[in-house]
Amino acid sequence: MKAEYGFSKDNIINIPLHGNEFKMVAHAIKDHSGIQGVSGSSVVLSTGGTTSTVLRELDNPVDSLGVSQMSADLNFIKNFQLKLVAGSGFPDNISSDQEQYLLVNETATKKLGYDNVHEIVGQAYLTKESNKPLTVVGVLKDFHYSNLMEDIGPFVIRYIPDDFRFVNIQFDPLHQDEVLAFLEKEWKMIDSNHAFEPQFMDAQLAESNAFINDVGYIIGFISLIAVTIASLGLLGMVIFVTETKVKEMGIRKVHGASTGDIILQLSKGFVIMLTIAIVIATPLAKVANNAWLIQFAVRVNFNIEILGVGILIMSALGLVTILSQTIRTARTNPSDTLRYE
């Protein structure tokens, strides 16, 4: 499934830290020529796992906003190519033992009452975990921090190194094998108790959101069965009607009716029924599919083009089913059908 996550997912490896200190791991691997960036994070984006907190204003601590949150370092924005729409990322001299700053997304900015994203930069908030004010240094363009089934809500990134669970490595794809070999070698020296577990970001996202494709495949299979049953039912009706009218059509041919007239006479009733079915089913299909698709944060527009393709396919199947029998009946020799009359 193709989707716009709002961040880069290509050429990134996430390695679980297994309790190892992020700074130590980052220092050991940062100098390889094939590694273009290293950052730390508490979760892997868009795979779930974010936690929640509450932001409170300094002068109005009663008024609060519930937000999703994660922890990441100052290189995280560059590594995942997140877009800043106001302010900046975490400063280079950020304290590793005393949290001071916040990054917020556009949705959080609006929920906190700011129509202009630049106005929130420099504002300070309290969290439910601490009464120490945290200053907003930047606003990030909205991106899918959780899975694709969930709408983008208010979200913040904090700098809490003790919460880092992953090291994120951006690599040069031309040197992928070299980078993996280097990382495995360094990891064995860092931690001999845990296996080296590189996880490619794009594969993680595909696995995390695989259920969406699975649901699509299931619905497609059920639809195929339904269409097959409907086509067989229509075929049975056409065979029955043409068999009961075969002698009548023979008499019409004897009296000068052409093959085209016979086909039209036999087919028009079924074509009318098929047209009525399409007229009834089209709005119902649109309503039913929109009701289902609205559950996804990544919207799929069930538009007239999709409906048009469906109508064409069903019309073609219906006409082939109808004409396959009516043409056979229309071409039957009247002498064969009237022999015993």
Indicate whether 240 and 312 sit together in one domain.
yes
* CA dihedral sign, ordered 295, 297, 303, 306: negative
Does a structural domain hold residue 6? no
Does a structural domain hold residue 126? yes
Q: Please give the Cα distance from 307 to 12 (Å, whole number).
A: 38
Indicate whether 302 and 221 sit together in one domain.
yes
Indicate whether 245 and 203 sit together in one domain.
no
Q: Are 120 and 104 in contact (CB under 8 A)?
A: yes
Indicate whether 123 and 268 sit together in one domain.
no
Does a structural domain hold residue 262? yes
Q: Which two tokens stand for residue 311?
A: 């109508």
Q: Give the residue from 179, 208, 237 where a domain finishes.
A: 208
Q: Give the residue from 208, 236, 253 where a domain finishes.
A: 208
Does a structural domain hold residue 22? yes
pTM of the full structure: 0.70
Cβ-based burial of 57 (10 A; exposed 0-12, middle 13-18, buried ≥19): middle
Q: What is the mean pLDDT of each run of 10 residues along the chain (341 residues)?
A: 80 96 93 94 91 89 87 95 95 86 96 94 90 93 87 94 96 95 94 94 83 66 73 74 67 66 74 79 72 59 66 76 73 57 49
Indicate whether 171 and 74 sit together in one domain.
yes
Indicate whether 227 and 171 sit together in one domain.
no
Total domain count, the chain: 2
Tell me the residue ranges of DSSP E strands in the chain.
12-16, 35-41, 51-57, 64-71, 84-87, 101-105, 124-127, 134-140, 155-158, 166-171, 199-200
Q: Please give the Cα distance from 211 to 218 (Å, whole number).
A: 10
- Domain of residue 77 covers 12-208
Does a structural domain hold residue 63? yes
Question: 86: closest CA among 120, 131, 37?
Answer: 120
Indicate whether 172 and 290 sit together in one domain.
no
Indicate whether 288 and 321 sit together in one domain.
yes
Q: Please give the Cα distance from 73 to 71 (Å, whole number).
A: 7
Indicate whether 253 and 124 sit together in one domain.
no
DSSP string, 106-161: HHHHHHTT-SSHHHHTT-EEEESS--S-EEEEEEEPP---S-TTSPP--EEEE--G
Cβ-based burial of 157 (10 A; exposed 0-12, middle 13-18, buried ≥19): buried
Q: Are 318 and 275 in contact (CB under 8 A)?
A: no
For residue 271, report the phi and psi dihedrals to the nearest 5 degrees.
-65, -40
Neighbouring-strand partners of residue 167: 15, 40
Does a structural domain hold residue 68? yes
pLDDT recorded at residue 340: 45
256 torsion bin: left (phi>0), alpha (psi -120 to 50), beta (else): left
SS3 call for 103: strand
Neighbouring-strand partners of residue 39: 168
Does a structural domain hold residue 270? yes
Does a structural domain hold residue 4? no
Question: 310: closest CA among 271, 270, 283, 273?
Answer: 283
